[in-house]
Structure 1
Amino acid sequence: MAMLSLTSPKLTNPFFQTHQHHQLQLHRHHHQQKMKSVGPISATKIPFLPTPSSSSGELYQPFRPPPSPLPKKYRSLDPAERLDILRNRMGLWHEYAPLIPALANDGFSPPSIEEATGISGVEQNSLIVASQVRDSLLSSSFDPDLLAFFDAGSGADLLYELRLLNAAQRAAAARRVVEQRLDPKGAKELARAVKDFPRRRGDSDWARFSASHPGDCLAYTHFRLSREALSAGDRIAALERAMEAAETEGARKRIEEEMEKAAGGGREGIEESEGAGRVTVPVVRLRYGEVAEATSVALLPVCRAGEGAEGVAAAPGWCRAEGELGVVAAERGWGRWMVLPGWGPVAAVGKGGGVAVEFGDGRVLPWKASIKSGMEEAVLVVADRGRREVAEEDGFYLVAEGEKGELGVESGDKLLEKGVEEALGTVVLVVRPPKEEEDDQLADEDWE
């Protein structure tokens, strides 16, 4: 059989070599003419990039992926076997939780994992986040022996609630969860209190509670909420919860002082006869979104202070819902309305007797001199027009005063001294506008 020659005839042909040399000369000549027509070009020197190396003189090592987060016993398993472990919940939750992101890296989506294992997407996320929180506790000063508490089925839900805390807060909160045997709802409440406590720096009595003790953070939350309570019973109940949560002696002492004050029902700086009751006017500050979250609301006509007694009398006396859609209708047209949560004092106002009066400057109300400097803001005074008789010396009433007959608020004892036995209505609530940083609620003793 004839062998194929690897030698090209063109390479050995003298004529072809001469022709190839001639073509090369023509190409060089054409290139030189083209460069002359373009003109001189400045040469650009490409900088030399040395190969990266470490400071110790070792050769540069390329990037290597981090070690697999999977436990060693799972690394050799194929996806089908990993899905089987998740489906049957084989092992502790924090052992098989890393299988979920590993399957995601293999191309599985949360819906496909849910279809194969029965673990919903929400639960998948909870397991992954809780596993990360647990790993962060292992790398901190947290006692490893306490981690066994979170091995139970609800352990993932407990640790998931601590996800928003920093390392120090997380370790302290987890320790508190173990000590108090909290459920997921209690862990969530604790974590929110710990997260919120530093933001309250500068608030009244904040320094009496300790930021390093999660129980104190939760106690301060209940302590602050007690000042927003609209009844003495709710206030005392909130203070009792604060006392149960407090860890430090300073926090307990401050709560005890407030409990004694709430149980006594008296006002500082006001003389009262033994056993006499006191009529209190709650002062609350609205929070953003509070009306939307309320289970019931009240719709009140609003007057301006300058409209006087005529404005109060002209405000609609009743509002009612009509039809299946509950459309609200008033007895007569009115231009200004206010929607408030259905707080106790507002809900207790007689049907059609409620009216709200807007004051542009809260300092016109009979506050103590020490409080007036902090009231340079608009306030809304809610009054019950069905209770006009000045029957309580300690109550506060809506009146028309001065030559212009502008609306104002006066205490019952001063009205009785003047011989005034009937007012425009009894004040039941004072509402302050919302702020980004909620300040302290006023107490009963802040009135004159």
Structure 2
Amino acid sequence: MSSSSISVIQLSFSAQTKSLRYVGIFFFLLGLPSASLLSGTLDIAGRIDVLANRLALWYEYAPLIASLIREGFSPPTIEETTGISGVEQNRLIVGAQVRDSLVQSNADPDLLAAFETGGAELLYEIRLLSASQRVAAARFLVENRCDGKAAQELARAMKDFPSRRGDKGWESFDYTLPGDCLSFMYYRQGKEHRNPSEQRTSALEQALRVAETEAARNVILEELEGKGEEGDTVGEGEAAARVSVVRLRIGEVAEASSVVLLPVSAAEEREILEAPFESRSQGEFGVVVAEKGWGKWVVLPSWDPVVGLGKGGVVVSFPDARVLPWKVNRWYKEEPILVVANRSNREVGADHGFYLVNSDAEGLKVQRGFALKEKGFTQSLGTVLLVVRPPKEENDELSDEDWE
């Protein structure tokens, strides 16, 4: 639709604008949704005027945007005539649909009322949750006066929580409570930092603030007081060393403030030895240059175990976790893993350290220092720093109920 046509429509409707405002005010005074009642009778110019002048509550005029799109208007055209950006149009439409689902779930009227002003941004962020989760999340957002960023974190934590089954401490958090889901996310993030460190303490304290159950708070307090385990336990014995075992979250690399780029090797000694020993960034654009060509690389967040790794870093890809000396057989057959190792430190030193070794009888494995010393090993292929589990698949597509 051309801008001249739009101008003609707006001019032809100018005489009705004032009366439309009065009608909107009249319905408002009666406590009726003006835009909803008028959407079936307003012509195009009328709908544009309602949107341009915000003549109703946001969730009442949001459906008018979808109706204009059905009439052939594009988001840029709607933005030009109403001043509502394309991003905001989508947020309003989806937010209104989320609100409708809260109404259908018999959410408390006071809860719904809390989203009458500026509620689209918050409700939009919980769009991927189930109907029951939306009600619980909406209540948490209101009670904790959350902003859009906090709402996004909460939705991500609730969506991600079921996929973390088997992670240390998971069973102590209640998946039906938004605060516990969010708390577990912070708890997990805290355990990925070096102990002790300011980042670790800060994340755990944040987890403690939002936890809703006593069981969750107890687990976090144990970690803060140094009684909990740092990551999953690899190996046996009271003095067992800890290697951080983390599950990479979908989108975590994109959200990381800094990342590391490491060569990936198959679980073969030859490939581990041949992988580039060093890569560095050059020039104003930080172009990464490796000492030689290599076909497989991985980008990981700059977690504490790999910060400052420098030369010698390599990531070895294993089809499952049976190569690790696990204390408990839990998920070790279920999924592939990446083992991050430092080839600059190959000496088998600490009894409770973990090392990559190639045994003719067992193939490439991760072994503890004391076990290797008993077999006469003094050198390894590298010291193990971190074990990474893959992200769980999540459906980030909008469901049918998110669209008109």
Structure 2 length-normalised TM: 0.67
Unaligned runs of 5+ in 1: 1-67, 273-277, 439-448
Structural mapping, 1:7-406, within 5 Å: 70-72=35-37, 79-101=44-66, 103=68, 108-152=73-117, 154-197=118-161, 206-226=170-190, 229-232=192-195, 233=197, 234-261=199-226, 270-272=237-239, 280-285=242-247, 295-300=258-263, 302=265, 304-305=267-268, 307=270, 316-320=276-280, 326=287, 328-330=289-291, 337-341=296-300, 342-351=302-311, 353-357=312-316, 362-368=321-327, 370-371=328-329, 374-375=332-333, 380-399=338-357
Cα distance in 2 between the residues matched to 1:390 and 1:78: 79
2:325 alignment partner AA: P
Cα distance in 1 between the residues matched to 2:40 and 2:317: 69
2:8 corresponding residue in structure 1 = none
Cα distance in 1 between the residues matched to 2:385 and 2:329: 17
Query: For residues 78 and 127 of structure 1, do their structure 2 counterparts lie closer, same or farther at Cα, with a shift above 3 Å needed?
Result: same
Q: CA offsets per residue over residues 123-166 of structure 1, 9 Å max, x none?
A: 223223333333443454322233332232x2221222233334
Query: For residues 176 and 390 of structure 1, do their structure 2 counterparts lie closer, same or farther at Cα, with a shift above 3 Å needed?
Result: same
Cα distance in 2 between the residues matched to 1:299 and 1:202: 27
Unaligned runs of 5+ in 2: 1-32, 395-404
1:63 corresponding residue in structure 2 = none
| CA RMSD, Structure 1 to Structure 2 (Å) | 4.4
Correspondence 1:423 to 2:379: yes
How far is the alpha carbon of 1:120 from its aligned partner? 1.9
1:394 alignment partner AA: H
1:393 alignment partner AA: D
Q: CA offsets per residue over residues 286-334 of structure 1, 9 Å max, x none?
A: 5677667765332336364454xxx76665443456778836342x67x
Contact 1:305-1:358 at 8 Å conserved across structures: no
Cα distance in 1 between the residues matched to 2:101 and 2:133: 12
1:283 alignment partner AA: V
1:250 alignment partner AA: A
Kindly, what percent of the aligned residue pairs are identical?
A: 51
How far is the alpha carbon of 1:195 from its aligned partner? 3.9
SS at match of 2:138: helix
Cα distance in 2 between the residues matched to 1:244 and 1:257: 15
Query: For residues 206 and 406 of structure 1, do their structure 2 counterparts lie closer, same or farther at Cα, with a shift above 3 Å needed?
Result: closer
2:298 alignment partner AA: V
